[in-house]
């Protein structure tokens, strides 16, 4: 009997071991039970919070868009506290009444070649909306991103989706410190002291001949430049019935920069052919002609005709056409022996053209490429 009982006991223990789950499976089940308990606890806590009244998914998306347009990257990845966000909205809405228009302007001609938008990048790498665009009185549009020491927004000419390179052939990122301030080139072996791009703008002027300009609405109205709103009526709340949404609409319009319409996205040399006021100041004689005609004195030209003539006269000072009739060609002998090369001597142009057959005619358009060859 003792042997039979011992044998039965061993058999029961073997069956128990065979039916028991493996140790790794038991640990997995314990982890799942712990997780389920946490989830149940969170669900119970969230059920006690009152949901947003009549808030749809579209309302949440619109609210996030407005927050992104006002704050940008300035929150450092952590959403601002409600009190701080409300104070920022009040500040931006007050600045929207006489908001800043930010452009990249050719210094000698006054042509606004690029209109800065909310997502346009600064030299420090952050967007315009992440800067203090609401400082319309002092115009000290510093960067608000935590850790960035950029003192004022500075536009850098872009081609395609990236910024242009320096004359030392190295990228913009190698010419700034970790805090966004300019520095000498950090590429190994490069002696470049500062970022100096050698490319030309669409207006054919060098990039160094442009500056970033901040103008208030009242200043642009005085110069006769376009001051339209990017979003129609947004400075006054955009027609929203909710006071919070109307305040956010007004605050968001202050971050529009130099944008006023879809036309303002085009380069200045193209905008001036459609509407002169979108890229150039109103000529003084155009205002005089318009005032005279309004007073009923004489049959002089209209203000639009005078503006168009002033634009054509201004083009001679800052633009050479691709046809070549306004270029000031001079033969270029430096380092050139295999062909005839001509260079435009007009200030701010720098166009080259080459003739491989060594054509003696200086008006030759160049036979290497269609049009002119920009060297």
Q: Which residues are CB-contacts of 196 (< 8 A; sequence separation ≥ 6)?
A: 166, 167, 208
Structure tokens given for 156? 């850098």
pLDDT for residue 30: 81
pLDDT for residue 132: 94
Structure tokens given for 258? 């130099």
User: Shortest CA distance to 254 belongs to which of 229, 219, 279, 278?
Assistant: 229
Helices 303-318, 284-294: inter-axial angle, 10-degree rounding: 170
Tell me the per-residue pLDDT of 224-239, one tens digit each, with 9 for 90 and over. 888 876 655 555 545 5
Q: Is the CA virtual torsion 187, 192, 197, 198 positive or negative?
A: negative
DSSP 143: B
- Kindly tell me the number of DSSP H helices and DSSP E strands found in the chain: 9, 8
Q: Report the distance separating Cα 280 and Cα 263, nearest Å.
A: 14
- Chain position carrying tokens 């990257």: 73
- 230 in Cβ contact with 263 (< 8 Å): no
Q: Report the distance separating Cα 324 and Cα 345, nearest Å.
A: 12
Q: Which residues are CB-contacts of 125 (< 8 A; sequence separation ≥ 6)?
A: 173, 176, 180
- Backbone φ and ψ for 163, nearest 5 degrees, come out as -75, 155
pLDDT for residue 363: 58
User: Shortest CA distance to 114 belongs to which of 172, 155, 79?
Assistant: 155
User: Shortest CA distance to 229 belongs to which of 90, 131, 98?
Assistant: 98
Tell me the per-residue pLDDT of 36-94, one tens digit each, with 9 for 90 and over. 888 888 877 765 545 555 678 888 888 888 899 999 899 988 889 989 999 999 999 89
C-alpha dihedral, 182 to 188 to 193 to 197, nearest 10°? -80
pLDDT for residue 6: 82
pLDDT for residue 365: 53
pLDDT for residue 269: 86
Query: Would you give the distance in Å from CA 356 to the centre of its chain?
Result: 42
**3-state SS, residue 257:** coil
pLDDT for residue 143: 94
User: Shortest CA distance to 251 belongs to which of 119, 63, 76, 60?
Assistant: 63
pLDDT for residue 271: 85
Q: Where are the domains of the chain?
A: 62-164+199-278, 284-318, 321-375
pLDDT for residue 334: 61
- Backbone φ and ψ for 138, nearest 5 degrees, come out as -85, -25
- Chain position carrying tokens 């001949």: 209
Residue ranges of the chain with pLDDT lower than 70?
1, 17-25, 46-54, 229-242, 283-326, 332-338, 345-352, 354-375
pLDDT for residue 135: 92
- Backbone φ and ψ for 77, nearest 5 degrees, come out as 95, -10
Q: Report the distance separating Cα 113 and Cα 267, nearest Å.
A: 5
User: Shortest CA distance to 103 belongs to which of 222, 226, 199?
Assistant: 226
Tell me the per-residue pLDDT of 286-321, one tens digit each, with 9 for 90 and over. 433 344 344 433 333 443 454 455 445 444 444 454
């Amino acid at each position: 009997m003792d042997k039979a009982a011992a044998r039965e006991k061993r058999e029961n223990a073997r069956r128990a071991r065979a039916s028991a789950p493996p140790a790794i499976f038991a640990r997995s089940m314990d982890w799942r039970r712990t997780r389920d308990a946490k989830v149940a606890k969170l669900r119970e806590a969230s059920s006690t919070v009152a949901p947003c009244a009549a808030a749809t998914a579209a309302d949440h998306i619109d609210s996030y868009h407005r927050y992104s347009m006002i704050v940008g990257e300035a929150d450092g990845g952590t959403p601002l506290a409600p009190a701080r966000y409300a104070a920022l909205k009040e500040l931006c809405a007050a600045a929207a009444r006489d908001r800043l228009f930010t452009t990249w302007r050719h210094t000698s001609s006054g042509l606004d070649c690029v209109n800065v938008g909310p997502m346009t990048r600064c030299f420090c790498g952050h967007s315009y909306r992440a800067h203090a665009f609401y400082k319309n009185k002092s115009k000290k549009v510093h960067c608000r991103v935590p850790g960035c020491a950029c003192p004022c927004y500075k536009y850098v000419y872009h081609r395609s989706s990236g910024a242009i390179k320096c004359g030392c052939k190295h990228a913009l990122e190698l010419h700034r410190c970790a805090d966004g301030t300019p520095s000498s080139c950090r590429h190994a072996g490069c002696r470049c002291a500062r970022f100096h791009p050698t490319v030309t703008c669409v207006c054919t002027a060098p990039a160094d001949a442009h500056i970033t300009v901040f103008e208030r609405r009242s200043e642009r109205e005085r110069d006769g430049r376009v001051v339209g709103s990017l979003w129609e009526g947004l400075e006054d709340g955009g027609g929203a019935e909710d006071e919070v949404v109307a305040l956010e609409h007004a605050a968001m319009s202050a971050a529009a920069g130099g944008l006023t319409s879809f036309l303002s996205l085009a380069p200045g040399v193209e905008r001036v052919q459609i509407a002169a006021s979108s890229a150039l100041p109103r000529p003084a004689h155009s205002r005089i002609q318009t005032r005279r005609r309004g007073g009923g004195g004489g049959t002089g030209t209209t203000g639009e005709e005078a503006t168009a003539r002033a634009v054509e006269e201004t083009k001679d000072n800052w633009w050479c056409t691709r046809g070549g009739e306004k270029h000031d060609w001079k033969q270029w002998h430096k380092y050139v022996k295999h062909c005839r090369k001509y260079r435009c001597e007009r200030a701010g142009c720098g166009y080259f053209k080459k003739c491989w057959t060594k054509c003696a005619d200086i008006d030759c358009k160049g036979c290497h490429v269609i049009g002119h060859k920009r060297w």
